[in-house]
């Protein structure tokens, strides 16, 4: 074995360890993110809708028909103002 082959072997071992530790850290971080996203009790947005820590409304919380009408009306008004 010459010196370049030995250096290549050592570099492969070092790179493999570095890449594997980075992958493990990323997977551990992603698995912990699921625990952080769980909703705290009583946490609501400015419209009274329950939200998770990521800021998105939780599924299954449907708006009433009156709220849907108001939202559509507001969208139409905003669209008209945007065209002017």
What are the extents of the domains in the chain? 1-34
Residue 59's pLDDT is 61
> Each residue of 3-39: pLDDT tens digit?
999 999 999 999 999 999 999 888 888 877 766 655 4
Is residue 60 within 8 Å of 49, Cβ to Cβ?
no
At a CB cut-off of 8 Å and minimum separation 6, what does 48 contact? Answer: none
Q: Which token pair is 47?
A: 């419209």
- Is pTM beyond 0.75? Reply is no
Mean pLDDT of the chain: 78
Residue 1's pLDDT is 78
Residue 57's pLDDT is 53
Angstrom distance (rounded) from CA 84 to CA 64: 31
Q: Which token pair is 31?
A: 């698995």
List helix spans (H) across the chain: 3-36, 65-83
% pLDDT > 70, the chain: 64
């Amino acid at each position: 074995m010459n010196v370049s082959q030995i250096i290549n072997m050592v570099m492969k071992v070092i790179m493999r360890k570095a890449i594997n530790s980075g992958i493990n850290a990323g997977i551990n971080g992603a698995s912990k993110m699921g625990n952080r996203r769980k909703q705290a009790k009583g946490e609501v947005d400015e419209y009274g809708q329950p939200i998770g820590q990521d800021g998105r409304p939780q599924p299954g919380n449907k708006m009433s028909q009156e709220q849907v009408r108001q939202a559509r009306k507001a969208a139409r008004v905003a669209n008209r103002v945007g065209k002017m």
